[in-house]
Amino acid sequence: MNIGFIGLGIMGKPMAKHLINDGFDTYLFDLNNDAVNELDELGGHKCISYKQLAEVSDVIITMLPAAKHVSQVLFSNDGVVKYAKPDTIIVDMSSVSPEDSVRTSDSLNENNMFLVDAPVSGGEPMAVSGELSIMAGGDEDHYKLVLPLFESMGKDIVHMGPVGTGSATKLTNQILVSTHLAALSEALVFASKSGINLERLYEAIHGGLAGSAVMEKKMKTIIEQNFEPGGRIETNFKDLSNIQSSANSIGVPLPVTNMVKEIFSSEIANGNKDKDHSHIINFFETMANHKVSKE
């Protein structure tokens, strides 16, 4: 089985690297030639066009910034669909809305191709370690066929149901991640301005009901003011925008999530779009006129 991989950014490159290291014949395309060349040297196969990649691939993985990029890669005049073989499975691991996934699936079906929507959670660290959470939607037979690829890149892998349910699960995940980050940020500013040592605070509360995976992964980096991106603010904001659109379409009010979305929007407006999503603590620090510290 030949695998095509399009999108070798902060997440895609380590994901593709795992496929190569696990012996999958992996054909690579990205606008970033350095990323393609690096993986080519590891045993991947460099492609210079969608045509070259699509003609040899049985499964094509896309890991792209947004739905518009997925659509362009697949359906442009010189895109993947023009050259891919019948029965090709497209595995879109980008974070898009369930409505986007269903539209993509319908268009692929018209061309005798199929979609598995399989967004991921875990950020760059888990992409590097091969321990991503993968939530997949699509036909069960198609899911089983691509499952070995997921097992190469991830750890917690769940087939959620038909096309669109993977994307809906990822958006649900992002509601929780984003609101937890906002709550953690607000709490840390309160604690720090109250004179509490934040490292001792972690020791005191992380094992109780207030503890969370967000706290475990982000509290230390916030205390150290390390905002190198594992998940960028602009990416989180894109997810929150998809959540808002999807929720509106099915009639689900999201008052807390929409408030948090505006916090992310504020950070983007202040030039912080490329920083880690935990940098939203800056919003709370600015309101409180207080910078958190270890002391």
Can you give the CATH number for the domain in which 152 is found?
3.40.50.720
pLDDT at 231: 81
Q: Cα separation of 208 and 38, whole Å?
A: 44
pLDDT at 72: 97
Q: What angle do CA 201, 204, 209 make, to 5 degrees?
A: 110
Q: Tell whether 177 and 154 lie within a shared domain.
A: no
Query: Taking Cα atoms as reference points, which of 114, 163, 156, 109 lies closest to residue 137?
Result: 163
Say if 179 falls within a structural domain: yes
CB 166, CB 188: distance < 8 Å: no
Say if 20 falls within a structural domain: yes
Q: Tell whether 153 and 40 lie within a shared domain.
A: yes
170 belongs to the catalytic site: yes
Q: Cα separation of 63 and 11, whole Å?
A: 8
Query: Taking Cα atoms as reference points, which of 1, 30, 47 lies closest to residue 149?
Result: 1
Say if 294 falls within a structural domain: no
CB 179, CB 212: distance < 8 Å: no
Q: Cα separation of 269 and 94, whole Å?
A: 24
pLDDT (tens, 9 = 90+) of the chain, 295 residues, equals 999 999 999 999 999 999 999 999 999 999 999 999 999 999 999 999 999 999 999 999 999 999 999 999 999 999 999 999 999 999 999 999 999 999 999 999 999 999 999 999 988 889 999 999 999 999 999 999 999 999 999 999 999 999 999 999 999 999 999 999 999 999 999 999 999 999 999 999 999 999 999 999 999 999 999 998 878 899 999 999 999 999 999 999 999 999 999 999 999 999 999 999 999 999 999 999 999 976 6
The total number of structural domains that make up the chain: 2
| pTM reported for the whole predicted model | 0.90
E-assigned strand segments in the chain: 2-6, 25-29, 45-46, 59-62, 89-92, 114-117, 120-121, 132-137, 154-161
Domain end, chosen from 117, 143, 162, is at 162
CB 84, CB 115: distance < 8 Å: no
pLDDT at 294: 66
pLDDT at 229: 80
CATH number at residue 191: 1.10.1040.10
Torsion on CA atoms 252, 135, 65, 125, rounded to nearest 10: 120
Q: Tell whether 107 and 181 lie within a shared domain.
A: no
Kindly name the residue from 170, 218, 261, 275 that is annotated as catalytic.
170
Query: Taking Cα atoms as reference points, which of 293, 246, 242 lies closest to residue 264?
Result: 242
Which amino acid type is present at position 119? P
Say if 233 falls within a structural domain: yes
Q: Tell whether 28 and 104 lie within a shared domain.
A: yes
Q: Tell whether 204 and 186 lie within a shared domain.
A: yes
Q: Tell whether 154 and 184 lie within a shared domain.
A: no
pLDDT at 295: 61
Q: Cα separation of 289 and 282, whole Å?
A: 10
CB atoms within 10 A of CB 20: 20
Query: Taking Cα atoms as reference points, which of 238, 253, 268 lies closest to residue 96?
Result: 238
Q: Tell whether 174 and 68 lie within a shared domain.
A: no
Say if 132 falls within a structural domain: yes
Q: Which two tokens stand for residue 226?
A: 């390390």
Q: Cα separation of 207 and 216, whole Å?
A: 10
Q: Which domain holds residue 86?
A: 2-162
Say if 88 falls within a structural domain: yes
Domain end, chosen from 162, 189, 210, is at 162
Domain end, chosen from 162, 193, 213, is at 162
Say if 210 falls within a structural domain: yes
Q: Tell whether 35 and 139 lie within a shared domain.
A: yes
Q: Tell whether 112 and 251 lie within a shared domain.
A: no
Q: Tell whether 105 and 140 lie within a shared domain.
A: yes
Say if 293 falls within a structural domain: no
What is the DSSP track for 63-119? --SSHHHHHHHHHSTTSHHHHPPTTPEEEE-S---HHHHHHHHHHHHHTT-EEEE--
Q: Tell whether 158 and 189 lie within a shared domain.
A: no
Q: Tell whether 129 and 201 lie within a shared domain.
A: no
CB atoms within 10 A of CB 65: 16
DSSP state at residue 138: S
